[in-house]
């Protein structure tokens, strides 16, 4: 096998096949190439059966790229190699063996919206004031507990003397019970239940230890405690574990990533070998020098320094503007100029920022300048109402235990089944210890349901008929049957609005995605399609062939690269964030912010532009006095206000919201009205402007002085 394409350190990593190996791969150092060559070497030169090799990573995009490269290099037999994400791996294992934990193998996977809906029901049932205790807070606490493999009983035992923690423990317990009753798992459960399965059933663990004799893990710095335990259990028998990662790119602490998994690798695995990949093939030396300078200030890291043969390249550009509006205008003009001169295409440019709220200003300026763009991290395709409705039908067909899905569609389209009737059926289900759908089938036994029973029975018969068809029909045929027999699309057509037309197009796209799934799978199933949909991520939707500027947070940008990168909002309070600066553990938090900056800088291949603003809405969050916000120019400011209020960073004394602009004018006002988190004076519709805001302020001052 020819290894001449590899540098000295890369070759060493490929040739080290036995025992624990940590490859410290700096940004752009060719780690995917190393993993591909290593896989091929194991098969071609070491005689390892492809069936015994596992390669695991975090995103579908990364797994797809790895699969493609391995297939090209290995050829025959490569299909036997297990290339997958952590979550997909766990789903495959659980689909086969989760019945040993008391679940049905056709379990549903709950996304973030499903979790919120379930938590809302639980809080209502437990009579918890959600103004005082937010549903999101409970979900975050539960997720953190699962990351550390703390179950509800242990959680309760740990915090017996704390009133708030006791309430959290109660909610956690109820949440898990509800998931079990619905035969559903959230994303954290996929990992936790797999580890639980391995620890409870030695036969299953032994089977997978024998299967995966050689394990490779990409992006190891992003693993949390439960992922570490999963890998440890699988590798325990043969110890041929190769992990690739970069502690300098560990940026997911907020979602449970434990940087010490990589920093302490040699302690966790005896006789581990460490190889550093420091040669960068992506960026210019000026960009790398900036990255090295930032990250060298961190104490909690393994020493390394990126270098390249690409040359010094252009100097980094820094622009400080007066405001966020001017910052967005500057970036828009800069990109337009590059494209106009033929120096770049739109897809060669990316705008990276610390928070999602920053994207609004860039949207407005890009629309005004006619610059095509795509936001990563906006509304996920599968989170749109019409898509979730159709998927809820499919989930109900596949798994009748999923109360959430059934309740979502029982009145979609309108069937005249009121909330009182639904509550009666819910109470009956709880009394009998059965799921909601089963209770619907026995609606005649539910007291006080004489009139509603006639509306519920046709719904049950419809679902039963779809279940019968599911045995023979494809997923796309099922979707078409749902649309045809419910009249869902006909209702949208009758609306005759642009929004309705967009929804119809989204449903057509869902059918196309189902057809693509059927054509790409050897044995397509309804469960398999729902699984694929549940595991898709925002980043997976990026089309590299489309010509648009990408707008995304720094967290979403990891693993990507662009010739021209604009790093926006580089100022104290925004990046690094105010929360990091003022944290009780400021040293650790600032180190995380440096790692995030390092990731942002190293996305740039040729040109890096850093921007900041002297004035920005977020600065007001740091003021410790009552503030009145008068917004008369851009709707973006209202979105920023709402985001800051939602996170508890800002508590305005009054909001005067009368913006005008190119986009989202009405929506921005409605969001403030719906939030009702502060007193407001808001004009409905599109009218407004700075003169209106000034008039309101003057009227208020007149009243005070009079």
Task: Give the sign of the dihedral formed by CA 335, CA 340, CA 343, CA 346.
Answer: positive
CB atoms within 10 A of CB 141: 17
Would residue 219 show up in a list of annotated catalytic residues for this protein? yes
Would residue 603 show up in a list of annotated catalytic residues for this protein? yes
Strands 82-85 and 108-110: unpaired
Q: Which helix (H) or strand (E) holds 25?
A: strand 21-25
Would residue 255 show up in a list of annotated catalytic residues for this protein? no
How many C-alpha atoms does 691 have within 13 Å on its Cβ side? 1
Secondary structure (3-state) at 2: coil
The active-site residue out of 395, 595, 603, 669 is 603
Task: Give the sign of the dihedral formed by CA 299, CA 300, CA 303, CA 308.
Answer: negative
What are the backbone angles phi and psi of residue 552, rounded to the nearest 5°? -160, 160
The active-site residue out of 9, 32, 59, 223 is 32
Query: In this structure, are residues 373 and 549 in contact, taking their beta carbons and an 8 Å threshold?
Result: yes
Scanning 161-256, the segments in alpha helix (DSSP H) are 163-181, 187-200, 202-211, 225-235
Query: In this structure, are residues 440 and 396 in contact, taking their beta carbons and an 8 Å threshold?
Result: no
Token couple for 62: 């990364």
Distance between CA atoms of residues 564 and 352, nearest Å: 11
Cis peptide preceding 694, ω within 30 of 0: no
Distance between CA atoms of residues 6 and 26, nearest Å: 15
Secondary structure (3-state) at 159: coil
Would residue 9 show up in a list of annotated catalytic residues for this protein? no
Q: Provide the terminal-to-terminal Cα distance of the chain, rounded to the nearest Å.
A: 89
Task: Find, among 550, 525, 674, the residue nearest to 603 by Cα.
Answer: 550
Q: Which residue reads 């023979």 in tokens?
A: 472
The active-site residue out of 121, 147, 174, 218 is 218
Token couple for 693: 């805001």
Would residue 341 show up in a list of annotated catalytic residues for this protein? no
The active-site residue out of 9, 168, 249, 358 is 249
Would residue 611 show up in a list of annotated catalytic residues for this protein? no
The active-site residue out of 9, 10, 31, 89 is 31
CB atoms within 10 A of CB 448: 9
Beta-carbon contacts of 685 under 8 Å, excluding residues fewer than 6 positions away, are 666
The active-site residue out of 219, 246, 435, 606 is 219
Distance between CA atoms of residues 167 and 84, nearest Å: 37
Q: Which residue reads 């030396």 in tokens?
A: 285
Query: Which long-range CB contacts under 8 A does 494-503 form with residues at least 24 apart?
Result: 503/384, 503/385, 503/386
Distance between CA atoms of residues 256 and 223, nearest Å: 8
Task: Find, among 229, 156, 139, the residue nearest to 193 by Cα.
Answer: 229
Token couple for 655: 């909001």
Query: What positions carry a catalytic annotation?
Result: 31-32, 218-219, 249, 603
């Amino acid at each position: 096998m020819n290894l001449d394409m590899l540098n000295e350190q890369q070759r060493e990593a490929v040739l080290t096949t036995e025992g624990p190996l940590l490859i410290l791969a700096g940004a752009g150092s060719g780690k995917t190439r190393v993993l591909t060559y290593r896989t091929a070497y194991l098969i071609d030169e070491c005689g390892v059966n492809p069936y015994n090799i596992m390669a695991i990573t975090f995103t579908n995009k990364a797994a797809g790229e790895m699969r493609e490269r391995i297939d090209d290099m290995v050829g025959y037999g490569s299909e036997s190699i297990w290339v997958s994400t952590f979550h997909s791996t766990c789903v495959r294992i659980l689909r086969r063996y989760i019945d040993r934990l008391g679940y049905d193998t056709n379990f549903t996977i709950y996304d973030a919206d499903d979790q919120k809906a379930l938590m809302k029901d639980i809080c209502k049932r437990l009579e918890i004031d959600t103004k005082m205790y937010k549903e999101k807070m409970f979900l975050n606490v539960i997720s953190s507990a699962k990351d550390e493999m703390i179950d509800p009983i242990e959680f309760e035992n740990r915090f017996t003397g704390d009133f708030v923690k006791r309430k959290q423990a109660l909610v956690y317990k109820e949440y898990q019970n509800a998931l079990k009753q619905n035969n559903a798992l959230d994303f954290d459960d996929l990992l936790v239940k797999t580890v639980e399965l391995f620890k409870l059933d030695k036969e299953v663990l032994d089977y997978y230890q024998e299967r995966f004799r050689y394990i490779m893990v990409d992006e190891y710095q992003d693993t949390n405690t439960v992922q570490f335990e999963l890998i440890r259990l699988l590798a325990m028998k043969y110890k041929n574990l190769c992990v690739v990662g970069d502690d300098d790119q560990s940026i997911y602490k907020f979602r449970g990533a434990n940087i010490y998994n990589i920093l302490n690798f040699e302690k966790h695995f005896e006789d581990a070998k460490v190889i550093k990949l420091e040669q960068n093939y992506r960026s210019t030396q000026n960009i790398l020098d900036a990255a090295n300078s930032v990250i060298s200030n961190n104490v909690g890291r393994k020493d390394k320094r990126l270098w390249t043969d690409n040359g010094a390249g252009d100097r980094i550009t820094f622009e400080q503007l007066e405001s966020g509006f001017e910052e967005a205008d500057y970036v828009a003009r800069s990109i337009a100029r590059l494209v106009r001169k033929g120096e770049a295409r739109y897809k060669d440019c990316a705008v990276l920022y610390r928070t999602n709220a920053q994207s609004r200003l860039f949207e407005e300026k890009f629309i005004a300048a006619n610059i095509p763009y795509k936001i990563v991290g906006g509304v996920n395709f599968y989170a749109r109402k019409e898509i979730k409705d159709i998927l809820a039908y499919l989930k109900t067909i596949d798994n009748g235990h999923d109360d959430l899905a059934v309740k979502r569609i029982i009145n979609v389209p309108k069937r005249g089944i009121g909330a009182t009737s639904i509550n009666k059926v819910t109470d009956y289900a709880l009394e009998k210890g059965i799921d909601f759908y089963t209770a619907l089938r026995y609606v005649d036994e539910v007291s006080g349901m004489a009139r509603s029973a006639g509306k519920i029975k046709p719904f049950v018969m419809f679902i039963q008929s779809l279940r019968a068809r599911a045995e023979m029909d494809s997923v796309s045929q099922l979707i078409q049957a749902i649309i045809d027999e419910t009249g869902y699309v006909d209702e949208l057509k009758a609306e005759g609005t642009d929004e309705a037309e967009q929804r119809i197009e989204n449903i057509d796209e869902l059918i196309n995605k189902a057809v693509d799934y059927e054509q790409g799978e050897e044995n397509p199933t309804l469960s398999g399609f729902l699984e694929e949909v549940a595991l898709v991520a925002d980043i997976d939707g990026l089309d590299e062939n489309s010509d648009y500027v990408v707008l995304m947070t720094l967290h979403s940008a990891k693993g990507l690269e662009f010739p021209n990168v604009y790093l926006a909002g580089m100022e104290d309070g925004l990046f690094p964030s105010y929360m990091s600066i003022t944290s009780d553990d400021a040293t650790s938090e600032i180190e995380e912010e440096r790692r995030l900056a390092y990731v942002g800088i190293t996305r740039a291949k040729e040109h890096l532009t850093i921007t900041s603003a002297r004035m920005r809405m977020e600065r007001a969050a740091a003021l410790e006095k009552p503030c009145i916000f008068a917004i008369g120019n851009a709707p973006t400011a209202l979105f920023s206000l709402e985001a800051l209020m939602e996170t508890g960073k800002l508590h305005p004394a009054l909001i005067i919201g009368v913006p005008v602009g190119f986009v989202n004018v009405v929506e921005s006002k409605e969001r403030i009205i719906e939030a009702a988190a502060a007193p407001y004076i808001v004009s409905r519709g599109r009218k407004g402007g700075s003169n209106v805001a000034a008039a309101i302020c003057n009227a208020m001052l007149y009243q005070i002085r009079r």
